[in-house]
Amino acid sequence: MSNTAQSCGSRRPTIKTDAGIVHGVPSVSSLRRWLYVVASLVVLFSLSQSLLAQTAGDAKTPTSAPVKAETAHTTDFVGNDTCALCHGDLATQFAGDPHSKLALMHGDNGATCESCHGPGRAHVESGGDKTKIFDFAKATSKEVDKQCIGCHLDTHANSERTSHAAAGVSCTTCHVVHAFPEETHLLKAPETKLCTSCHTDVKASFAEPFHHKVNEGVLKCSDCHDPHGTFNDSLLQKSATQDAVCTKCHTETAGPFVYEHPPVKLEGCLSCHYPHGSPNPRLLIRNNVNSMCLQCHSASLDFTAPGTPSFHNQANQYQSCTSCHVQIHGSNADVDFFK
């Protein structure tokens, strides 16, 4: 009996499975070794994927990476005269450029070819290898902007946070340095034509019967918008209230008034007017003044504005609310804007 117990005690345990009986259970040390092998394989796989991703990223990096002039040695620069030996046509065009005038003002120490394109010695010694110089045509929009903002940071500090930057619109999308048809701000085309080439929906608004006279040349887009960035919606100029840009011209509506019309301050001019063009007079969003007023001044749980008095005959379509409430933007004399 003891021999039987001893022989049973020396046996390795068995495990029953659906497939049958498996003799022997792996030891703890064996399991640890297997886990170590599996973990090592996972780590190696992760490292290989990271290396592949890095290699792919390096392959996508433009060869025209910006050359940092501030870290270059003085011997890396060759001067404008050397650039003109090959790029004579561009050098001729650049002679009348404001950047060139800056260079003359500072004894060739201002804006030169290498101020924007980086040190040119490696480019020259390689026989004109474009990968040895900053090429604006092949650089990404962020790289182009970085080169330009290096000097224009004071006036374009918010450009990286604009919708233009998010859409990949760079400085050279609108501006050109070597040959500029429009002398104002070195634009590629007249401002209105340039803006509406992308903002086609706004271009159609200026063809409405009533519109701001942009096509006629009285106004331009930058009178209301700053293309290089503001902290306001739609890149609007002036302060945080969008009406500040409107009241710059429409001064009679600026206030402050003793009796304010709440929508003017809370919702802004756009609660009643279209900004670019409208089929209705005064760029109103409704073709009937009464209909527009009743959007708020109606008996509803959604509005806190006072309702229309019962003695107001809204059936008379030719009787406008503003026939009596003449100071609709605000009044200093009457709470009901009668005067």
- Using one digit for the tens of pLDDT, what is the confidence trace for 117-150? 888 888 988 888 888 888 888 888 888 888 888 8
Gap between the Cα atoms of 171 and 275, Å rounded: 26
Amino acid of residue 41: L
What pLDDT, on a 0 to 100 scale, did the predictor assign at position 58? 46
**Mean pLDDT of the chain, nearest integer:** 76
Decide if 201 contacts 222 (C-beta within 8 A).
Answer: no
Gap between the Cα atoms of 197 and 339, Å rounded: 44
**Domain assignment present for 162:** yes
Average pLDDT over residues 327-337: 88
Q: What is the pLDDT of residues 32-74, one digit of tens each?
A: 777 777 777 877 777 777 666 555 544 444 444 444 555 567 7
Residues 79 and 174 in one domain: yes
Gap between the Cα atoms of 12 and 328, Å rounded: 97
Gap between the Cα atoms of 339 and 323, Å rounded: 11
Q: Residue 268 belongs to what domain range?
A: 255-331
Residue 31: pLDDT band (50, 70, 90) is confident
**Domain assignment present for 306:** yes
What pLDDT, on a 0 to 100 scale, did the predictor assign at position 279? 93
Question: DSSP of 186-213, one letter per residue?
Answer: GBSS-HHHHHHTT-HHHHHHTTSSEE-S
What pLDDT, on a 0 to 100 scale, did the predictor assign at position 229? 79
Residue after which a domain boundary falls, among 161, 188, 215: 188
Residues 184 and 262 in one domain: no
What pLDDT, on a 0 to 100 scale, did the predictor assign at position 131? 86
What pLDDT, on a 0 to 100 scale, did the predictor assign at position 109? 56
Decide if 284 contacts 272 (C-beta within 8 A).
Answer: yes
What pLDDT, on a 0 to 100 scale, did the predictor assign at position 139? 86
What pLDDT, on a 0 to 100 scale, did the predictor assign at position 57? 46
Residues 104 and 181 in one domain: yes
Residues 261 and 184 in one domain: no
Give 252 or 307, the one with higher predicted confidence.
252
Residue 276: pLDDT band (50, 70, 90) is very high
β partners of residue 182: 187
Alpha helix segments (H runs only) across the chain: 2-10, 28-60, 80-86, 88-94, 98-105, 113-117, 121-125, 141-152, 163-166, 171-174, 191-196, 200-205, 243-247, 262-266, 289-294
- What are the residues whose beta carbons fall under 8 Å from the beta carbon of 54, sequence distance 6 or more? none
**Domain assignment present for 161:** yes
**Is the confidence at residue 93, as pLDDT, over 80?**
no
Residue after which a domain boundary falls, among 188, 213, 244: 188
Pairing of strands 259-260, 330-331: antiparallel
Q: Which two tokens stand for residue 134?
A: 């900053």
Integer-rounded Cα Rg, in Å, for the chain is 36
| Overall number of domains in the chain | 2
Residues 260 and 184 in one domain: no
Residue after which a domain boundary falls, among 188, 220, 243: 188
Give per-residue burial for 317-334: e unless 16+ CB within 10 Å, then b.
eeeebeeebebbbbbeee
**Is the confidence at residue 209, as pLDDT, over 60?**
yes
| Angle subtended at Cα 186 by Cα 182 and Cα 188, rounded to the nearest 5 degrees | 60
**Domain assignment present for 138:** yes
Gap between the Cα atoms of 319 and 309, Å rounded: 15
**Domain assignment present for 266:** yes
Q: What is the pTM assigned to this prediction?
A: 0.66
What pLDDT, on a 0 to 100 scale, did the predictor assign at position 1? 45
**Domain assignment present for 270:** yes
